[in-house]
Amino acid sequence: MCRKIQYAWVNVAVCCVLYFFCSGIAVTGFSIYMPYVKEANNFTHTQLAQIIMVRSLFGLVSKIWVLWLIRKIEIRRTSALACLSVAIAFFLYGVSTTLSGFFVAAVFAGIGYGMGSSIAGSVLLHRWFDKNFDIAIGLAASGAGLSVLIWPTVATNLILMWDLERAFLVIAVLAAVGSVVIFLFLRDYPKQSGLEPVPEIKNVKSGGFRADNSFYLAPLLLGMIVLNCNSVYPLYFVECGYNGLTVAYAISLCGAALLIGKLSYGFIANHIGNKRTSSMFISFLICGFLLGSFAAWGTAILYLSAIFCGCGGALTTVGMPVWISEFVPYDKFDEMTKRVQIIFALGGFLFSMVPGMLADLLGGYSIIYLIFIIFASAVLMVIWRIYRIKSRQR
């Protein structure tokens, strides 16, 4: 058992690398480049939104068939290919000078995100952890927060010191190295390391989710928020009059808060329950967007908004897998994870064009924060309702 536990934490560390590139860099990491891409290529807000839409579309498609791919070639190879796709995406971003070139890069970014984000990580760690799954997934998903903490300031300084192309190519090389690390060290099952297998039935507390389909509104709305707010942040902050480095510092603060949120979510849920923890983190999102509406008033409000939004963002990569582990039996976890992640990606895709179109129509992104507040409030009400139904079924 000791050796199994030890290698389980090696898998957590490798999954951290996976989340760093496929959830963090592929999605949030690109957002820091967007003001510079817009300026260098003279793109409109709508054209930038089209790039995000293409990435969202292929992220959605990849999540639809990733579970099939995992069963064919295992999580290790799937995850390595996902990270390699992110490397190809950033290489293409770096050499592209036309909108169509950015579309092709966004295709690879979407594939990397869809194949290597929450589905692969959640399924893998659920195989390895009899207990403390929520803590393990939180530690692994902190890789995405770490990328948002580190990369915005690094990328901005690389762009200012060198140029946009080389700043893209640096992360392409790092992602390629990450894919090698994943391929060498990730293990799908304990038996592949000569260890005892995990028992087939672990989640004995879950009797099956019997609530109505309103549950799926939560990941749909969270996808609309989280998969699009990251691309709005830098453009909106620049619109508020802040320079590139101030924006990078704000996004790094968001990343630090995201990292802390993901590391702490499982521990908090173990002490006060997932219903209260989910409510707390959704409230963080609402506070962050409310403060963001007044970001132009000063850097203190800007930074506070970034901190609250970062903390709340932990809900998507940690909170949703924990919901699933609570609501469904062990043998249904993989399929339910796939379904929820597809709905989450669908939300991101459906809303991907809206921020850019509204910005071109209304002359700014401020209205988007009001929409995000409404969406996050709706998620809070859905989660309260679902847990109330769950308590009645006991």
Of residues 384, 260, 254, 258, the one with CA closest to residue 323: 384
In the block, residue with structure tokens 């970034």: 306
* Terminal Cα distance for the chain, rounded: 33
Would you tell me how many other CB atoms lie within 10 Å of the CB of residue 366? 18
Rounding to the nearest 10 degrees, give the CA dihedral for residues 60, 65, 70, 73: -120
Summarised one tens digit per residue, pLDDT across range 218-276 is: 999 999 999 888 888 888 998 899 988 899 899 889 989 988 998 898 888 888 988 89
Q: What percentage of the chain reaches a pLDDT higher than 70?
A: 92
Question: Is residue 22 a contact partner of residue 78, using CB atoms and an 8 Å limit?
Answer: no
**C-alpha–C-alpha distance, residues 29 and 148, integer Å:** 7
Q: What is the pLDDT of residue 267?
A: 84
**C-alpha–C-alpha distance, residues 43 and 52, integer Å:** 13
Which of the residues in the chain have pLDDT under 50? 1-4, 197-207
- All domains of the chain, ordered by start, with CATH? 2-392 (1.20.1250.20)
Q: Give the global pTM.
A: 0.84
**C-alpha–C-alpha distance, residues 221 and 11, integer Å:** 30
Phi, psi of 41 (to 5 degrees): -110, 0
Of residues 334, 348, 305, 336, the one with CA closest to residue 61: 348
**C-alpha–C-alpha distance, residues 96 and 132, integer Å:** 44
Question: Is residue 375 a contact partner of residue 267, using CB atoms and an 8 Å limit?
Answer: no
Q: What is the pLDDT of residue 197?
A: 42
Q: What is the pLDDT of residue 200?
A: 42
CA pseudo-torsion sign 98, 104, 113, 88: negative
Question: Is residue 288 a contact partner of residue 308, using CB atoms and an 8 Å limit?
Answer: yes
**Cβ burial 115-136 (10 Å sphere, 16+ → b, else e):** bbbbbbbbbbbbbbbeebbbbb
**C-alpha–C-alpha distance, residues 223 and 277, integer Å:** 19
- Cα-based angle 31, 34, 37 (whole degrees, multiple of 5): 150
**C-alpha–C-alpha distance, residues 304 and 228, integer Å:** 20
CA atoms within 13 Å, Cβ hemisphere of 360: 12
Q: What is the pLDDT of residue 371?
A: 95
Q: What is the pLDDT of residue 167?
A: 93
Q: What is the pLDDT of residue 2?
A: 47
Q: What is the pLDDT of residue 205?
A: 46
Tokens of 198: 């995990």
Q: What is the pLDDT of residue 213?
A: 76
Q: What is the pLDDT of residue 131?
A: 74
Of residues 223, 180, 188, 196, the one with CA closest to residue 352: 223
Of residues 349, 89, 369, the one with CA closest to residue 235: 369
Would you tell me how many other CB atoms lie within 10 Å of the CB of residue 31? 22
**C-alpha–C-alpha distance, residues 127 and 162, integer Å:** 44
H helix and E strand count, the chain: 16, 0
Would you tell me how many other CB atoms lie within 10 Å of the CB of residue 164? 18
Q: Where are the alpha helices (DSSP H) in 162-273?
A: 164-185, 217-239, 244-272
Phi, psi of 130 (to 5 degrees): -70, -40
**C-alpha–C-alpha distance, residues 142 and 317, integer Å:** 9
**C-alpha–C-alpha distance, residues 254 and 208, integer Å:** 35
